[in-house]
Amino acid sequence: MTKHNQWSSKLGFILAAAGSAIGLGAIWKLPYVAGTSGGGAFFLIYLLFTVFLGAPLLISEFIIGRSTQKEAISAYKSIAPNSSWHFVGILGVGTSIVLLSFYSVVGGWIVNYLLRSLTGSLSKLELVDYQQLFGTIISNPFQAIGAHLLFIILTVLIVQGGVQKGIERVSRFMMPSLFILFIILVTRSLTLEGAFEGVSFFLKPDFSAVSSETILFALGQAFFALSLGISTMVTYSSYLQKGESLPRSMFSVVGLTILISILAGLAIFPAVFALGFEPTEGPSLIFTVLPAVFNEMAFGTLFLVLFLALLLFATITSAISLLEIIVASLTKGSNDTRRKMAWTSGIIIFTLGIPSALSFGLLENSLIFGLTFFSLMDFLVSNIFLPLGALLIALFVGNKIPKEILYKEISQGSSVPYQLFKLWYFLIRYVTPVAIIFVFLHALGIFSFIKKMVLTFG
Ligand code: PHE
């Protein structure tokens, strides 16, 4: 077996972990789900979940990974041998396969957009044309499947390069550029006439729009955007040297993800209202609104190309983390079979993703439980498997690892006041499991059922 993979520096790890977190979740999904789920109130609930459940969970995954230096499945095995806890790792790897299969469909749309913008055929279109163009990109079976394939090939090529050469190198230069471009976008969007309405839609909570489903979506969104619940961060932190500070890394990843979420919202919603779009447009939202904002700018075409390139990078850095957990669990840290496993997984994921790629065209009307294949996969992953995985990870850390060991792990590489540790421990041991179970039951309608029973018979 070759030497264990390692990040070359602490910054490398933070950038890669933030690269995994920041992707379609914060930039594409959050705005459109917030748009269809009431705007500000959804965003606020998402933020609360991110801070109070997401952040403690992120540290938990870091602890499991760094303390064992093992990939997702073996990590649970080495902490709790002869138990069934490694099922959490298997669930994570399985979920990653499904997640990546539809994630790369959206990644493919971006590839398609980018190729078109490079040829200049995207600029100066009328608003309607962007909607039409997006319609073609997602519904034409050859384009959808071809672009999905291209995206997977790109992801495999990076992952087969390994931790330092592949993943870290890409993240290092992409993240800072993405921030700068977002600032430019937000500035333009906020200075459009009529932008304020969008700001208030995005930041002013209207709780009348909140349903139990909204809360479940916000929970799923918080985990999705931080790459939590499927042990991605376990695998990534297993490449971390023992001396690095886990809380500091957590603050950086959570802080950057929240920042990008806010920037994405501020880039999109003001423009939605100023340029006459509907916030409830759905998955097409950023693909139709942002090109229109660029049209309002000097050097718009150039900025559009840049933005699409960065969006593609952000998406790729998340996709590689998904593929990495799968490949790492198959190779068990050996680099000899990495290439073979990366390509084999790529082929399986591509095949599984085909019905998702066709969900906006040929299979648009083939519904399962009222959802297209794509939406069903997304629903299962985001709203069932990620929260379920997160619940199990919280139970594992809160019950299977002794408190003293947890404190030792958290304070290794940083001095964490004991009071702060206790707060974290309380959140992970009690608050997180209870909150997740509560949101699940609420969404299942159990509480309204009980209330009705009490009213009827009480
Ligand atoms: N966090 C990524 C995004 O927001 C998606 C992801 C989820 C990646 C879970 C890895 C694990 O795009």
The closest residue, in CA terms, to atom 12 on ligand 1 is: 23
Which of 28, 100, 232, 323 is the pocket-test mutation for ligand 1 (most atoms within 8 Å of CB)?
232
Residue whose entry in the numeric block shows the structure tokens 């992953």: 381
Look at residue 162 in the predicted model and tell me its pLDDT. 67
Q: Are 318 and 103 in contact (CB under 8 A)?
A: yes
Cα 194 to middle of ligand 1, angstroms: 33
Which has the closest alpha carbon to 158: 327, 5, 330, 316? 316
One digit per residue, pLDDT tens: the chain, 458 residues?
334 567 777 777 888 888 899 999 998 888 888 888 878 899 999 999 999 999 999 999 999 999 888 888 989 999 989 889 999 999 999 999 999 999 999 999 999 989 888 876 766 666 667 778 888 888 999 999 999 999 999 999 888 876 666 667 777 777 788 888 889 889 888 988 888 988 888 888 888 878 888 888 888 899 999 999 999 999 888 888 777 788 888 999 999 999 999 999 998 888 888 888 888 877 888 888 888 877 777 777 787 888 888 899 889 989 998 998 999 889 886 777 888 999 999 999 999 999 999 998 888 888 888 889 998 999 899 888 999 999 999 999 999 999 999 998 898 888 888 888 999 999 999 999 999 998 888 777 666 666 677 777 76
Q: Are 305 and 317 in contact (CB under 8 A)?
A: no
Give me the number of domains the chain comprises.
Answer: 1
Residue 448: other Cβ atoms inside 10 A: 11
Cα 133 to middle of ligand 1, angstroms: 27
Which has the closest alpha carbon to 64: 234, 309, 282? 234
Give the orientation angle of helix 40-49 with respect to helix 212-225, to 10 degrees: 50
Q: Which atom of ligand 1 is nearest to the CA of 315?
A: 12
Report the pocket of ligand 1 as residue ranges, CB < 6 Å: 20-21, 23-26, 224-225, 227, 230, 232, 318, 321-322
Q: Which atom of ligand 1 is nearest to the CA of 322?
A: 10
Q: Are 272 and 279 in contact (CB under 8 A)?
A: yes
The closest residue, in CA terms, to atom 9 on ligand 1 is: 227
Cα 354 to middle of ligand 1, angstroms: 20
DSSP per-residue string spanning 325-394: HHHHHHHTT-STTHHHHHHHHHHHHHHHHHHHHGGGTTTTT--BTTB-HHHHHHHIIIIIIHHHHHHHHH
Q: Round to whole Å and give the CA distance between 135 and 138.
A: 6
Q: Round to whole Å and give the CA distance between 268 and 275.
A: 10
Quote the domain boundaries for residue 116.
3-457
Q: Could you give phi then psi for residue 155, rounded to 5 degrees?
A: -65, -45
Q: Round to whole Å and give the CA distance between 319 and 113.
A: 18
Look at residue 260 in the predicted model and tell me its pLDDT. 92
Residue whose entry in the numeric block shows the structure tokens 């799923």: 220
Count of residues in the chain:
458
The closest residue, in CA terms, to atom 6 on ligand 1 is: 227
Cα 297 to middle of ligand 1, angstroms: 31
Q: Are 349 and 97 in contact (CB under 8 A)?
A: yes
CATH of residue 61's domain is 1.20.1740.10
SS3 call for 191? coil
Q: Which atom of ligand 1 is nearest to the CA of 228?
A: 9
Q: Are 323 and 155 in contact (CB under 8 A)?
A: yes
Look at residue 313 in the predicted model and tell me its pLDDT. 86
DSSP run (H or E) holding 432: helix 432-444
Q: Which residues contact 434 (CB under 8 A, 6 or more apart)?
A: none
Look at residue 111 in the predicted model and tell me its pLDDT. 94
CA distances, 251 to each of 163, 227, 247, 390, 415 (Å)? 22, 15, 6, 19, 14
Q: Round to whole Å and give the CA distance between 330 and 73.
A: 10
The closest residue, in CA terms, to atom 4 on ligand 1 is: 25
Q: Are 86 and 77 in contact (CB under 8 A)?
A: yes
Cα 136 to middle of ligand 1, angstroms: 26
Which of 57, 101, 322, 382 is the pocket-test mutation for ligand 1 (most atoms within 8 Å of CB)?
322
Cα 232 to middle of ligand 1, angstroms: 9
Cα 25 to middle of ligand 1, angstroms: 6
Which of 224, 310, 388 is the pocket-test mutation for ligand 1 (most atoms within 8 Å of CB)?
224
Cα 28 to middle of ligand 1, angstroms: 12
Which of 27, 219, 227, 231 is the pocket-test mutation for ligand 1 (most atoms within 8 Å of CB)?
227
Q: Are 308 and 121 in contact (CB under 8 A)?
A: no
Rg (CA), the chain: 22
Cα 99 to middle of ligand 1, angstroms: 8
Which of 97, 253, 318, 384 is the pocket-test mutation for ligand 1 (most atoms within 8 Å of CB)?
318
DSSP run (H or E) holding 89: helix 87-118
Cα 385 to middle of ligand 1, angstroms: 13
Look at residue 148 in the predicted model and tell me its pLDDT. 96
Tokens of 284: 């097409």
298: left (phi over 0), alpha (psi -120 to 50) or beta: beta
DSSP per-residue string spanning 221-245: HHHHHTT-SSSHHHHHHTTS-TTS-
244: left (phi over 0), alpha (psi -120 to 50) or beta: beta
Cα 224 to middle of ligand 1, angstroms: 5
Q: Which atom of ligand 1 is nearest to the CA of 314?
A: 12
The closest residue, in CA terms, to atom 10 on ligand 1 is: 227
The closest residue, in CA terms, to atom 11 on ligand 1 is: 227
Q: Could you give phi then psi for residue 368, rounded to 5 degrees?
A: -120, 125
Half-sphere exposure of 114 (CA within 13 A, CB side): 18
Residue 445: other Cβ atoms inside 10 A: 12
Cα 228 to middle of ligand 1, angstroms: 8
The closest residue, in CA terms, to atom 7 on ligand 1 is: 227
Look at residue 123 in the predicted model and tell me its pLDDT. 63
Cα 230 to middle of ligand 1, angstroms: 10
Q: Are 407 and 421 in contact (CB under 8 A)?
A: yes
